[in-house]
Structure 1
């Protein structure tokens, strides 16, 4: 009885949360599962941050660390319990499968200059002590950012890290635990840290 009540409360809380964040989402008939959440550090009223197509399932957490970010997810795509952290743009085309535990990160988070990182810490403390989000007043001008693109029919295994500026080509497979720092060619299998090409997929496994 207790477990049933706990499950019902979780469902109710999720529906309430989804209702709050739907104003920032455009979606067709896609499904949002109970791990799904949308986090906006500095939301811009009226802006649609997340655009989702049809027949897609999202069980992920999408974090917009500035008001400039945008995430696009196409049709017939599944993104498991993973994290998408966006400052500029992250795009998923169609028919993509993303397992759980993967992180997409379209920026460096901090400058390579230690003085800028020292300033980040000072500003974080100021914001935290004033009951603001700890990166609400972060200086993004010194942080490198580049869009990420995941092309149609790609498959990304569990616990991967996809870094800024990466394009994963059509039909590519990223092995579990990989750290992807460079573009992945279409219809190839990559793995490792940093991810390297392991093999090309045969012609009979490629979409015509």
Structure 2
């Protein structure tokens, strides 16, 4: 008999509901080789896929809306909050940070041991608006808003807010064009 898969599996609905999420929608697929910390601070919408080797640390609130795919080897650090809108894709290896240590020497490192006033300013919620896509191995720094429909090219470093429906890439990421909105037509045709 042929083997139809190798590797891990997805948690079933009973396991997902027993995990203690703040809320969890319908048709959610979370790979059992992902690592999710503090699920009580995570809300997940409908039709969400979280692939293997994803790490989500939700010491702060993490909100994942409907129809989101978070691909393998991605990391979400939710200490100061991460909000992911509808129809968002995080490609493999995307890293989203809501806090980052200061490397200049001006402030203390290892934030969990010190008061907020002794830390650098790289803290704040990350918001990724509906229809955004973030390319392979990109990094999103704290206190950033990625506008509705914005795209981020592979291996980009996002250090500032990105405009709606913009195409961005580079280190640091900069706007290189405007993204088409044709995808919205597919959503309308699915509703009819």
TM bin (shorter chain):
0.7 to 0.9
Runs of 5+ in structure 2 lacking a partner?
Answer: 186-192
Question: Is the contact made by 2:144 and 2:159 (CA closer than 8 Å) also made in structure 1?
Answer: yes
- 1: distance between equivalents of 2:101 and 2:68? 27
Q: Compared with structure 1, are the counterparts of its residues 31 and 110 closer, same or farther at alpha carbon in structure 2 (3 Å cutoff)?
A: same
Paired residue total: 174
Question: Is the contact made by 1:99 and 1:158 (CA closer than 8 Å) also made in structure 2?
Answer: yes
| 1:21 to partner: Cα distance | 7.5
Find the residue that maps to 1:51 and give its secondary structure: strand
1:205 maps onto 2:166 in alignment: no
Report the aligned-residue RMSD. Answer: 3.0
Matched with 2:114 is: 139
Equivalent residue for 2:57, pick from 43, 63, 72: 63
Runs of 5+ in structure 1 lacking a partner?
Answer: 41-46, 121-134
Of structures 1 and 2, the larger Rg is shown by 1
Question: Is the contact made by 1:21 and 1:38 (CA closer than 8 Å) also made in structure 2?
Answer: no
Matched with 1:116 is: 108
| 1:207 to partner: Cα distance | 4.1
Query: TM-score w.r.t. structure 2 length?
Result: 0.77
Query: TM-score w.r.t. structure 1 length?
Result: 0.72
Q: Could you give the per-residue CA deviations for residues 67-96 of structure 1, whole angstroms, max 9, x where no partner exists? A: xx0100000111112000121110001011
Matched with 1:191 is: 169
Find the residue that maps to 1:190 and give its secondary structure: strand
- 1: distance between equivalents of 2:106 and 2:18? 36
Greater CA drift, 47-56 or 89-98:
47-56
User: Which is richer in helix?
Assistant: 1
